Amino acid sequence: MDYRIEHDSMGEVKVPADRLWGAQTQRSCDNFRIGVGIETMPAEIIYAFGVLKMAAATVNNSLKKEKMTEEKLSAIKKACEEIMAGQHNSQFPLVVWQTGSGTQSNMNANEVIANRGNELLGKKLLHPNDDVNMSQSSNDTFPTAMHIAAVLTMEDKLIPAAEELAETLKRLEKENQGIVKSGRTHLQDATPITFSQEISGWRSSIEKDIKLLKLSIKPLYELALGGTAVGTGLNAPEGFDSAVAEEIAKITRKPFVTAENKFHALTSKDELVFAHGAIKALATDMMKIANDIRWLASGPRDGLGEIFIPENEPGSSIMPGKVNPTQCEAVTMVAVQVMGNDVAVGMAASQGNFELNVFMPVCIYNFLQSARLMAEAIVSFNKNCVTGIRANKEKMHHNLHNSLMLVTALNPYIGYENSAKTAKKAYKENISLRDACVKLGFLTEEKFDEVFKPEEMV
């Protein structure tokens, strides 16, 4: 392999000749061989760095024209546009398991932008620290990238996926009006419910979760950029923080603003904990809905069998004809991962020491994995399962009229205790509630038929 020699404040470093990164990125590659090629800095963070570096250069050009010239700005913007387009993702090799401030990923961005900008210019004009990192510190750029990445992933991927699922459930709710089935509590038979009412519970859960997600995004609009090393804004010109937030808002078309208190913005990750809590809330509801659907579809002969779901692939390597609720299983596994990630996000956020949190890479890695996985799982679940749900009306009718809990309708006429005796006799002797009630002398056949109407119990 061919190498070139790069240098930083610690000396010279050999860097692969075909790579855009420099000395500090290479040192990180050499010193942190943990999860290499697998647990690398998320693409969403790389994109966010492209955004914030472009914004910073633009504002520096307006506030420090003598240092950030038009020529430098043009080269930086072009390099950032290429990064945002994903053209240089291979130039960001660093793993999550690095310095807890994300300094090496900030320098990775600085070096790639500077070297690519110099390539575009055909001369060595840009310096990674002096130009690309002007008016910034890793301590304010990395938390800014975290918020940008979190907002974009939630607003552009996760919420649209949840909204699409809610629309599907709304359609199913309308299509299944009037179908009465047995309700269930504690996994035991309960009083009747319409299938549309059951679906409405799922739909409402998702709609509530969408509201929570939107509510939790608002604090993430605040950006740390401008706080520099410890929150004081050292080496950043006056007005840089507000101007750069406005520029980021312009690039992303999201309402980003500068954080009111930079000391808080650098050390606290409470906004991410709050937002991840909303993602976890969605995961818990998705777990419940997916489990409901696979229970209702269980069978086909020896389970509940009250709904049909799409048959997407063979379910067994040994049992011919078996089909499994695989989309439900994928959703529930993702939900488990999100719940685990919530612990990691919370623990990482609790590790702020004095003026800086030093668990930022692992915090955002887990956060973005949760948002991305949840979005993709919901899209897959909606497309490959929920849209194809059909009611098994015959089985629902059979289960409804076979349920002993219909006896609840008799409470106003024979009382709770006599209703319980009726249900127990029917179960013990394997006879109908009607026969049991008449045998016990609680009601005549005519009176029973008059008051016992399951379809009206909903």
Which residues are catalytically annotated? 186, 316
Provide the b/e sequence for 199-226 (b: ≥16 CB within 10 Å): bbebbebbbebbebbeebbeebbbbbbb
38: Cβ–Cβ under 8 A, 6 or more apart, which residues? none
Helix (H, G, I), strand (E, B) or coil at 40: strand
Residue 330, token pair as written in the block: 């994928």
| Helical segments of 302-452, H only | 326-349, 360-384, 393-402, 411-414, 416-429, 433-439, 445-451
**Residue in the structure block whose two tokens are 């409804």:** 400
Could you give the CA distance from residue 30 to residue 417 in angstroms, rounded to a whole number? 76
β pairing state of 188-194 and 180-185: antiparallel
β pairing state of 222-223 and 352-353: unpaired
Could you give the CA distance from residue 156 to residue 39 in angstroms, rounded to a whole number? 23
Q: Which of 68, 107, 64, 113 is nearest to 88 (CA)?
A: 113
